[in-house]
Chains A and B, each alone.
Chain A
Amino acid sequence: MATFEWKEVKIEVDEDGFMEEPEAWNESVALALASTEAVDDLTDDHWKVVNYLRDYYQQFGIAPMIRKLCKQSGFTLKEIYDMFPSGPAKGACKVAGLPKPTGCV
């Protein structure tokens, strides 16, 4: 576990930079985490993805399938990868404050 600081934000993250306490997430935290993901600015499109991931995680306790994310947000796979260069698992989920997805990712 480590402490990650960015501007006024101070959060606990795991060794891969994912939040240790997803419930402490807020929009400033998202901006802070985005700075580690080569995402300089969170546009409306970014927020749409991030908010969907948050909602899904709060409801089901896991990250959604990329199929669900694309279907619900209306973005194509390519658009998701353009927005979050590390991809939905490591990039988008991290910014949305989810813990690191399990398995070979």
Chain B
Amino acid sequence: MGRVRSHNAEKVLERLEKKINRQIATSLAACVHCGNCSSCCHYVLANPDDPTYQPSYKADQLRKLFKRHVDWTGRVIPWWVKAKSVYTDEELEELKDVVFGKCTNCRRCSINCPMGVDHATFNRMARGLLVSVGIMPEGVAVVSKDQWEIGNQMGVLKEDYIDTLEWMEEELQEEFGNPEVKIPVDKMDCDIVYSINPREVKYDPRTIADAAKIFHLAGANWTMPSEGWDMTNFGLFSGDDDLGGAVGRRLYEKVEELRGGRLVISECGHGYRSTRCEAPNWGKIDVPFVMESSVITMLNYIKQGRIKVDKIRNEGSYTFHDSCNNARSCGLFEEPRELLNLVVSDIREMYPNRTENYCCTGGGGAMSMSEYTPLRLKSGKIKAEQLEATGANFVVTSCHNCVDGLTDIIRHYKLDMKVTQLVNLVAEALVIPEKVVVPEEEVPVEVEKPEEAAIFAGKKILVVDDEPDIRIFFTSVLEDNGATVIEASDGDQAIEMLRAEKPDLVTLDLNMPGKDGGQVFEAIRKDEELAQTRVCIVTGRPELRRLIYDRPVAPPEGYLDKPVDEETLIFNCRKILELG
């Protein structure tokens, strides 16, 4: 007679047998309990006397079940291989506190294991087994539910999301003084579809505005999706592959529907890892487009000269914190440093760094599990020491979880440091082309200057030409130099305006429909009232000069051949008005 097992324990064991694959079986068998992983774990470093924090101990919680129920050794020599089963819900609750409360799945132990054992994978799998029977921290349950049911982890409704994007768009239009600056939504056939973390839209959309500003100045053809825009994925934290696949699928399908060229993922470590590396496997999805971190996008814009940055604008000293998911799981650690180096001047490296960096303590969904916050903050001792040793004013990270995890550590350990992200620094360093930024109130000042030295100040000039482009060009050049300009598009109108306005000078096109320039010129010279008006003939056909000079009247004061450039126009008109 065996012991009676609870329904949940029964289900967990059933599922365990289905989830074990060859890689996991090999990893579970490979551990030699050398203890190397313990020296790598930030939880162990802060709790050296408590063996329950050791990665190998945590792995043993899964291993004992594997040995007992899957591996043959557990059936033959259970006492030797430490095979054990699970019977009660209390035992499952204890397991929950280990796998959710004492590990952030940061994988520092995994990459340092001489046997290649990925402890974090075990931990995630154990979480998934518990989640499958509804045993999980409340925070994880709430967030998973929102991600399943509403489509994003903060339950943001579509209209609120769109409303917020429009709000940021208005702010940008105001900043640029340009109603053409857009945050496009669901635009088809864009090069870039930009996905974000719901916290950006719910609590701090400044990162969305910063990204939009960068896309705008780079001249990017981009859009944000109206649905499926959440690139975070609680499936990674909860071990629920079904959720992970479903969340990824929503985003991939939306990008395909929009026929987007590339999916760009904002600075979020677990979102990047889940979306780019894991969800295609969880959901068994063939993703046909390129996926990249916004860090790469921004770096390329600067390298290609599409945006210009000035690092002087970011004052103070900076250090870079590698997110575990970006650096250890996705190899993204040189590009953010390259980018940081382009937007700030004073960088202090953190040690250890890159794949060896210590966890922010907020990973693995820890930020949503308040019950474990004291454990988390205690385990952040090594992180606090690392941060403090840099002496930097700011710690930069490409992960939203790290932003919150580090903020908590800085506060708990009373460090004098602020947390920021690359998108904020790039946006701050942007050199905005002058025509975009000239504030309206400065315009009159600029207009006044040429007026003081204006060549044609107080002069009225009539521009006669049937081609609108020529009239616009002449008018703008002459007005820029202080003249009052009036325009006529044919001969009759010209004569009317001459009589009414009495201009100081007429620039007169010869070849016009109706009364041509020659006839207008003769009419001016023969009219007593207008005879003294100065005339500058303008024509693209020099052979028509005879139309003027053959006439029995005083010759014109000037003559210009088309095409006319700005300098020639100013020089000739000035000569006529001052000397003629």
Contact present for B164 and A65 (CB under 8 Å): yes
Is the Cβ of A104 less than 8 Å from the Cβ of B368? Answer: yes
B 454-493 contacts with A by CB, 8 A: none
Which residues of B, 124-183, contact A by the 8 Å Cβ criterion?
A: 139, 142-143, 146, 153-156, 160, 163-164, 167
Pair A77/B205 contact, Cβ less than 8 Å: yes
A102 touching B146 in the complex, CB below 8 Å, given contacts A16-B370, A18-B370: yes
Total count of chain A residues near the partner, CB < 8 A: 22
Residue A9 lies at the interface, judged by CB distance under 8 Å to chain B: no
B232 beta carbon closer than 8 Å to chain A: yes
Q: List the B side residues contacting A105 at CB < 8 Å.
A: 199, 203, 367, 404
Q: At the interface with chain A, which of B64-72, B212-220, B371-379?
A: B371-379
Q: Mark A2-22 against chain B: 1 for CB-CB distance below 8 A, else 0.
A: 000000000000111010000
B153 engages A65 (CB within 8 Å): no
Inter-chain contact B143/A102, CB cutoff 8 Å: yes
Count chain B CB atoms within 10 A of each CB in A18, A65, A70, A86 and give the residue with the most: A65
Number of B residues contacting the other chain (C-beta, 8 Å)?
A: 35
CB-based contact B370/A104 at 8 Å: no
Instruction: Check if B368 sits within 8 Å of A102, measured CB to CB.
Output: yes
Q: A77 and B206: CB pair below 8 A?
A: yes
| Residues of chain A within 8 A of B197, CB atoms compared | 104
When the two chains form their complex, are residues A65 and B156 in contact, meaning their CB atoms are under 8 A apart?
yes
Asked whether, in the complex, the Cβ of B370 is within 8 Å of the Cβ of A102, the reply is: no
Contact (Cβ within 8 A) B203 A87:
yes
Complexed CA–CA distance, A67 and B198 (Å): 13
Is the CB of A68 closer than 8 A to any CB of chain B?
Answer: yes
**What is the CA–CA distance of A79 and B320 in the complex, to the nearest angstrom?**
28
Q: Is the CB of B199 within 8 A of A67?
A: no
Indicate whether B578 reaches chain A with its CB closer than 8 angstroms: no
CA distance in complex: A36, B387 (Å): 23
Whole-angstrom CA separation of A68 from B164 in the bound complex: 9
**CB–CB A67/B232 < 8 A:** no
Q: Is A89 part of the binding interface, using a Cβ–Cβ cutoff of 8 Å?
A: yes
Least CB distance from A69 to B in Å reads 9
Q: Known interface pairs A15-B373, A16-B370. Does A104 touch B153 (Cβ–Cβ under 8 Å)?
A: yes
Q: Is A54 an interface residue (CB 8 A)?
A: no
Which residue of B is nearest A62, CB measured? B155
Contact of A104 among B142, B167, B199 (CB under 8 A): B199
Docked-complex contact A66 and B153, CB < 8 angstroms: no
CB distance from A4 to the nearest CB of B (A): 14
Please give me the residue from chain A that is nearest to B374 by CB atom. A15
Residue in A closest to B399 when the chains form the complex, CB atoms: A104
Kindly list chain A residues whose C-beta atoms are within 8 Å of the C-beta of B202.
65-66, 89
Interface contact A102-B203, CB-CB below 8 Å: no
Q: Give the chain A neighbours of B163 by CB distance below 8 A.
A: 65, 67
Interfacial chain B residues near A101, Cβ < 8 Å: 154, 203
**B401 on the A face (CB < 8 A):** yes
Residues of B within 8 A of A103 (CB): 143, 146, 153-154, 198-199, 367-368
Residues in chain B near residue A89, CB distance under 8 A: 199, 202-203
Q: Which of B142, B146, B167, B232: most chain A CB closer than 10 A?
A: B167
Q: Mark A89-105, 1 if CB is under 8 A from B, else 0.
A: 10000000000111111
**Residue on A with the closest CB to B369?**
A15
Query: When A66-B204, A67-B164, A67-B167 are in contact, do A14 and B370 touch as well, CB less than 8 Å?
Result: yes
Nearest 7 pairs of A and B residues by beta carbon: A15-B373, A67-B164, A89-B203, A14-B370, A103-B153, A103-B154, A102-B142
Known: A101-B154, A104-B153. 11 other contacts (CB 8 A): A18-B370, A65-B202, A67-B163, A77-B205, A89-B199, A89-B202, A101-B203, A102-B142, A102-B368, A103-B143, A103-B154
